[in-house]
Amino acid sequence: MLKGSVLQQLVERCQQGSSPTPFNYGVYYKNTLVSLCHALEDSILANGCEPIVMTAFQRGKWYLQEADRYASIAKKARHIMILAAPDAGFADHPTGQRDNVSLVSLTPEDPVAQEWHLVILSPTYTAMVMCQELTEEDYGVSGIPEVDIERKFYGFWTFEADLVLQTVELMLDACDRYNPELRSALQVQVNEISAALAERDTTEQLGNTVDRVVTYLKESRAILPGTDLKFAAEAALDRNLASNEFQAFLRMAQAIDLSDAANPMAGSEVAALCEAIAQLLDLPAWQIKRLRLAALLHRIDYLPGTGHTLADEGGDNSDSEGPSCPLRSGAQALRTMPKLRAIAQIVNHRTERWDGQGLPGQLEADAIPLESRIIGLLAEFQHYAASSGLPHNEAIAAALTHCQGGSATLWDPKLVETLGLLAMGLQQGLGLPTSPVKVSAGLWTLDDTPISSTVDSPNNLANV
C-alpha cells in the first residue's frame, strides 16, 4: 500500500480507532472496476440524491474517457472534484468548465496519482470504491499486462456511511495541498450532508443500486469474447466478475445490519450460530458454507425492494427449485444470479412455520428446507437475545425459553433440542467468530447440490 496515499491513510486511521473496521480487500480487473463505478455513478442519475462526488483517476487521459458521462452526473450533483495527474486536454474538456466541477492536477510524485477512487456522499446515498494499481513487483514474472483490461487493482468498496465520511475528509486533505479555497468551500457542503446523514436512513436507495451493480457486472462479461486474451486470462476475468456480484449482495447485507442501531450484528451473529449448529448436526462442508452465506443474506427483505423482477429475466415469480409459491422481493433480487438461486430459496422460506401456517408457501414440517428452518429459528433466537437488554447468560436463557415455547408449532422440535445444546455451550463460554466472509467464485458452487428437506448424514435431525 503506497505510503501517504488516501487508501493507506484510511486503513491506518481505522486501525488506530477504538473499533477498527474490517476491510474486505479484493483484487479487481480494470473492466470489473469500470462496471462497478458506472453502476454506483448511475445510481446518482436514477436517485436524484444531489451528492458530492470525489474521484481520483490516476491520469487525465482516464478522466477524458469518462468526461461525457460526468457531464450528466454534474447536472445531478452538488459538486464534483476530480483528482488526476494532468495530460493533454485534461482541463480543456467542456465538463471541466462547469461551475460545479473542479479539476485538481496532481504532481507525478503524489501517491494519490497512483490511486483509483470514487467517493459519493449524499444525505440518502453513500458509496465508494478505493483502489490502487498493483506495482510491477506485485505483478511478478508476468510483468505489467499489455492488454488494458487485464490491469489489476487492490482495494475494496462499500456503502458504509462512516467510512465514506472518513474518506471524504482524507480526499479534502489531498485537495488542500493544491487548492485550499476549494477545500474550504467543499468542507461547508460536507458538514451539511454529514448533519443530514445522522437523521436519515442511507439504505433507502441500496436495493436498486445493488441490482444495478449485478446487472452491470453481468453485461461487462460481453466484452470478453472476441478479445485477444488467452483462455486462462479470460477465465480469470470471468471469475473476478462473479466474485464481485457476490460481494454486491454481501455489501448490501452489511449496510442493512449497520442501519439497525438496535441489532447491528444480526447477519454475522446468525451466520455464526448457524455454522455452530450445523456442526452439531454434522452437516457436510458444502451445506455449512451454503447455510452461512444464506444466513448472512437473510435480512435482505428488510431493504426496500429492488426494481428488478423475474419477468425481466424471462422467468416467473415462483420458487422453481422447490414447491411453487410467491417469491419475496429479496429472494427475487438474489435470483438475478444463477449461483444464488439456492440461497434465494433458503431465504424465501425462512419464515415458514413447522405447523404449516407460515408464509410464503405454508409448507409444513420436513417440507420446509432444512437450511430455512435453521435460519428461521436462529434469527429469532439471536433477535430475542440481542433485544432483551439482559446480561449475556440471562439473555441466552430467555431467548432459549422463548424459542422452546414455539417448538412443534413455529419451529422444528428437533432443532429446538439442538439449540438447547448450543445455548448451554454459549453460557459456558463458547465463542462464535463473526469475521467477514471471504467470497470467491470458485468457492460457492451453490447450485451444484439440490436443496433437500433432510440431512443425508449418520447424525441427521432424526438422530439428534
User: C-alpha cell of 341?
Assistant: 438461486
Rg (Cα) of the chain, in Å, rounded? 24
Q: For residue 314, which amino acid is it?
A: G
Q: How many residues does the structure list for the chain?
A: 464
- Note the pLDDT of residue 311: 30
Residue 68: φ, ψ to 5°: -65, -45
Distance in angstroms (rounded) separating the CA atoms of residues 178 and 176: 5
Residue 286: φ, ψ to 5°: -60, -35
- Note the pLDDT of residue 314: 34
Going residue by residue through the chain, which has 464 residues, state the pLDDT in tens, using 9 for 90 and above: 888 999 999 988 888 875 555 567 778 888 888 888 999 999 998 887 899 999 999 888 888 889 999 999 999 999 999 999 888 677 888 998 999 999 999 998 999 998 999 999 999 899 999 999 888 888 888 788 877 777 888 888 888 888 999 999 999 999 999 999 999 999 999 999 999 887 776 676 677 787 788 778 777 655 544 445 454 455 555 565 566 777 777 877 777 787 677 888 899 999 999 999 999 999 999 999 999 999 999 987 665 444 333 233 333 444 544 455 666 656 676 776 777 888 989 999 999 999 999 989 999 999 999 999 999 999 999 999 999 999 999 999 999 999 999 999 999 999 999 999 999 999 999 888 766 555 443 344 344 444 544 433 323 332 22
The whole-angstrom distance between residue 244's C-alpha and the CA centroid of its chain comes to 9
- Note the pLDDT of residue 463: 28
- Note the pLDDT of residue 233: 52
Torsion sign (Cα): 12, 163, 109, 135: positive
Can you spell out the DSSP letters for 422-441?
HHHHHHTT-----PPP---T
Distance in angstroms (rounded) separating the CA atoms of residues 169 and 10: 10
Output the CA angle 167-169-175, nearest 5 degrees.
105
> Which domains, from first to last, does the chain contain?
6-253 (no CATH), 264-463 (1.10.3210.10)
Dihedral over alpha carbons 7, 8, 10, 12 (to 10 degrees): 160
Residue 117: φ, ψ to 5°: -130, 145
3-class state of residue 77 by DSSP: coil
- Note the pLDDT of residue 329: 59
3-class state of residue 57 by DSSP: strand
Pairing mode of beta strands 115-121, 126-133: antiparallel
- Note the pLDDT of residue 237: 52
Q: Are 452 and 370 in contact (CB under 8 A)?
A: yes
Distance in angstroms (rounded) separating the CA atoms of residues 361 and 440: 32
Torsion sign (Cα): 85, 86, 87, 90: positive
